[in-house]
């Protein structure tokens, strides 16, 4: 039996993200991710404004008037969500935790995919593989994906992006769109990312919280690393301490961005407490513009 409070959370996220897909992101996903090609469907009479390159000269000659070919896009895309569920994702200081932000982003991407008749699959990982749902179509399947994200209780605490990518390209042979959703608090994952991106279309969705970039000035603060459980006491009233924290955060950010650039992987940056739809919409526009140039 599924607990009623979990069902309510799933339903609430489904309703919220469905509205976002309809009102804010309508058409963006479809334009950003094209199908495998165009399939001939039928011919019809030429109309003013039609591209002359689509004229079917054989049919036009046979009937003595111009006809054009109509094509239908072959989609049948597969979207795989590789979601970091390590302990560092259960953190947030601005209205929501990062894992709550992740659930909403994944729900939005999943609903966008099924609205375009694409398949959706899920891999949850920490320092091990926590859950795997093979890609399928349909609303019921997407609700299962959302429910898994909300209900999962990971056994591991750390982050192993390399292990997640290696598991992915073992179980998913067919070319897929891959959303790697993580705060990227891991090292040495460039090579498996490059390997995955050669065959698949990988997009990194980096989650973030303001307190991870800038310490508030609140005096002595006890900080516990959620993945290693190491504890430190910091004097946040010290400008030197706050500057050192921000410097380390900036260096981590640069390292992640350089890794993604070397692997030719696009990035979506989402922050707790801020509308992630802005980042998604900008990403879809970038992708659409790149495909039309």
Q: How confident is the model at residue 29 (pLDDT cuts 50, 70, 90)?
A: confident
Task: Between 133 and 40, name the one with better pLDDT.
Answer: 133
Q: Got the DSSP string for 43-87?
A: EEE--TT--GGGB-HHHHHHHTS-EEEEEEEE---EEEEEEE-SG
The predicted pLDDT at position 38 comes to 56
Name the residue ranges covered by the structural domains of the chain: 4-30+75-292, 37-74
Bridge partners (DSSP) of residue 140 are none
Phi, psi of 203 (to 5 degrees): -125, 130
Would you say residue 232 has pLDDT above 90? no
Would you say residue 36 has pLDDT above 60? no
Number of Cβ atoms within 10 Å of the Cβ of 123: 22
What number is the average pLDDT over the span 215-239?
Answer: 80
| Top CATH class, 4-30+75-292 | alpha beta
Q: Which of 282, 289, 287, 251 is nearest to 24 (CA)?
A: 282
The predicted pLDDT at position 14 comes to 85
Q: Which of 221, 182, 178, 204 is nearest to 263 (CA)?
A: 204
What number is the average pLDDT over the span 19-44?
Answer: 72
Determine the distance from the C-alpha atom of residue 53 to the mean position of all C-alpha atoms in its chain, rounded to a whole number.
37
Q: How confident is the model at residue 96 (pLDDT cuts 50, 70, 90)?
A: confident
pTM over 0.75: yes
Bridge partners (DSSP) of residue 45 are 67
DSSP reduced 3-state for 288: helix
Please write the tens of the pLDDT for every residue from 174-219: 899 999 999 998 888 999 999 999 999 999 999 988 878 888 888 8
Structure tokens at 162: 């390399």
Please write the tens of the pLDDT for every residue from 254-285: 999 999 999 999 999 999 888 898 889 889 88
DSSP reduced 3-state for 224: strand
The predicted pLDDT at position 222 comes to 82
């Amino acid at each position: 039996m599924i607990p009623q409070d979990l069902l309510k959370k799933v339903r609430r996220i489904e309703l919220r993200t469905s509205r976002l897909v309809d009102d804010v992101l309508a058409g963006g996903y479809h334009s950003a991710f094209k199908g495998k090609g165009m399939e001939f469907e039928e011919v019809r009479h030429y109309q003013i404004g039609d591209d002359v390159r689509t004229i079917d000269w054989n049919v036009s000659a046979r009937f003595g008037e111009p006809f054009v070919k109509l094509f239908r896009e072959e989609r049948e895309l597969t979207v795989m969500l590789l979601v970091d569920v390590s302990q560092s994702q259960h953190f947030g200081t601005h209205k929501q935790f990062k894992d709550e932000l992740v659930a909403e982003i994944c729900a939005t991407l999943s609903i966008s995919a099924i609205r375009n008749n694409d398949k959706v699959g899920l891999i949850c990982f920490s320092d091990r593989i926590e859950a795997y749902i093979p890609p399928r179509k349909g609303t019921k399947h997407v609700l299962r994906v959302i429910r898994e994200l909300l209900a999962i209780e990971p056994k591991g605490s750390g982050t192993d992006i390399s292990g997640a990518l290696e598991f992915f390209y073992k179980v998913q042979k067919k070319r897929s769109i891959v959303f790697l959703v993580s705060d990227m608090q891991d090292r040495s994952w460039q090579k498996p990312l490059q390997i995955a991106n050669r065959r698949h279309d990988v997009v990194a969705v980096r989650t973030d919280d303001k307190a991870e970039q800038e310490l508030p000035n609140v005096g002595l603060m006890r900080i516990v690393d959620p993945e290693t459980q190491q504890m430190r006491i910091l004097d946040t009233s010290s400008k030197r301490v706050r500057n050192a924290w921000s410097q380390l955060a900036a260096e981590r950010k640069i390292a992640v961005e350089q890794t993604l650039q070397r692997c030719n992987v696009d990035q979506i940056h989402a922050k707790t407490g801020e509308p992630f739809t802005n980042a998604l919409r900008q990403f879809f526009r970038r992708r659409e513009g790149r495909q039309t140039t």
